[in-house]
Structure 1
Amino acid sequence: MQLPPEAEAAIRAHAREEYPHECCGALLGREEEEVRVVEQVIRLANERTDERERRFYVSPQQVLMAERQARKAGLLLLGFYHSHPDQPPIPSAYDREHALPFYSYPIVSVKQGEPTELRSWRLREDRSGYEEEAILTPRAE
């Protein structure tokens, strides 16, 4: 996945602002030669009413809004990012239960309010687990 510096900065800023709760958002972009290229980051509301320090929930209405925004811009909905407050950026069992194989799932770890490591994951087609997805920084043109 190609993640421009400004998109990564937006994800990290969102994670910092929502700490100690999990933040979440959508990634819009395109696919080029089997590489996902992120062009827009959309903040979404974590609609969990409990355990927001360890869980996030994106409603079908928010997914539909993100899909519509992507379509309007001629882009694809590539995936969803979220944060792990004071935990490593590795998908939890809860994350796996709520993920779909097509999407990318970047996770940023937030340690005591400061975003640290960012890693991205793709759920296997058989839903047995995740494969890590490389995060690439685009070259300046």
Structure 2
Amino acid sequence: MIKIPAEHLQAICTHAERTYPEECCGIMLGKIGDEGKTVSEVWETFNAWEEEKWAEFPASGGVRGKESTFTIAPLDIIKAQKVARDRQLQIIGFYHSHPDHPAIPSEMDRAIAWAVYSYIIVSVRQGKVGEVRSWCLDDAHQFQEEEIFPNV
């Protein structure tokens, strides 16, 4: 289970609508405990996907644009790690949008995912948020849906 304050969930949805028709992406900071993950901060990041640089990435399915792929720059992740450490938090997951597609992980999503983290996916259809779902990897590196518990 992932617990996320309503204002953070709204910020993710607003980011997804604002960047449509491209995928948005961001980092979630918080804590992991016995009862799941709790989001404390949401960081918007720039979609750093570069078609030329990543066209050879096997799971990309060839050349794809930001409307169907995303990546977070390594320096953004390092910065988030440092800030999280200073605030006694952790990176607990990442979010991104799926423009005009369901909030179900793609093969590319699975290929770049890391165990332990939550992955919130926001479906944005015609510029408006639809479904919001969260996923995490199991021991067989397959996504399993996890419950989103909006807390106030």
Moved over 2 A (4+): 31-34
Higher relative contact order (CA 8 A, sep 6+): 2
Shift in Å, 1:73 = 1.5
The root-mean-square deviation of aligned C-alpha atoms, in Å, is 1.1
Aligned to 2:90: 76
TM-score (norm 1): 0.93
User: Aligned partners of 1:31, 1:106: CA distance in 2, in Å?
Assistant: 16
Pick which of 16-25 and 56-65 moved more.
56-65
Aligned to 1:87: 101
1:101 aligns with 2:115: yes
User: What do residues 46-85 of structure 1 show as CA deviations (whole Å, max 9, x unaligned)?
Assistant: 0012310000011221111111111122111001000000
1:114 aligns with 2:128: yes
User: Aligned partners of 1:116, 1:79: CA distance in 2, in Å?
Assistant: 21
Pick which of 54-63 and 106-115 moved more.
54-63
**Equivalences, count:** 138
Task: Give the letter aligned to residue 77 of structure 2.
Answer: V
Aligned to 2:18: 17
TM-score (norm 2): 0.87
> Aligned runs of 1:30-41 on 2, under 5 Å?
30-41=31-42
Shift in Å, 1:32 = 3.2
Corresponding residue SS for 2:3: coil
Percent of residue pairs identical = 41
User: Aligned partners of 2:149, 2:35: CA distance in 1, in Å?
Assistant: 13
User: Aligned partners of 1:31, 1:103: CA distance in 2, in Å?
Assistant: 10
Corresponding residue SS for 2:88: coil
Task: Give the letter aligned to residue 23 of structure 1.
Answer: C
1:60 aligns with 2:74: yes
Shift in Å, 1:125 = 2.5
User: What do residues 10-59 of structure 1 show as CA deviations (whole Å, max 9, x unaligned)?
Assistant: 00010011000000000001123231110100011100123100000112
User: Aligned partners of 1:44, 1:123: CA distance in 2, in Å?
Assistant: 22
1:134 aligns with 2:147: yes
Aligned to 2:7: 6
User: What do residues 88-128 of structure 1 show as CA deviations (whole Å, max 9, x unaligned)?
Assistant: 0000000001000111000000010011110000012331x
